[in-house]
Amino acid sequence: MLTLLFVVLVFIIFGKLLMFALKASWGLIKILFSIVFLPLILIALLFMGLTYLALPILVIAGVISIVKS
């Protein structure tokens, strides 16, 4: 009986820790993408001659950042 209680509590605790880890990593990925990867992708598109694709992405990102702030 104590073993069953122990197993249930361990699953509850590690389940909460797993959810916390997923939330923390999702926030980190969003920050990393918006600060590092998006500018690098836009610069790469510009150098590859895809200005017609990079410019609308830049405008959409600008509008989203203005609306959020």
Higher-confidence residue of 52 and 69: namely 52
Q: Is the pLDDT of residue 69 over 80?
A: no
pTM over 0.95: no
- Residue 36, pLDDT score: 80
- Residue 33, pLDDT score: 80
Q: What is the pLDDT of residues 4-56, one digit of tens each?
A: 888 888 888 888 888 888 888 888 888 888 788 888 888 887 888 887 787 88
Q: Is 47 exposed, middle or buried (0-12, 13-18, 19+ CB in 10 A)?
A: exposed
What is the three-state SS of the chain?
A: CHHHHHHHHHHHHHHHHHHHHHHHHHHHHHHHHHHHHHHHHHHHHHHCCCHHHHHHHHHHHHHHHHHHC
15 contacts 7 by C-beta, under 8 angstroms: no
Task: Give the domain extent around 38.
Answer: 2-68
Q: How many domains is the chain partitioned into structurally?
A: 1
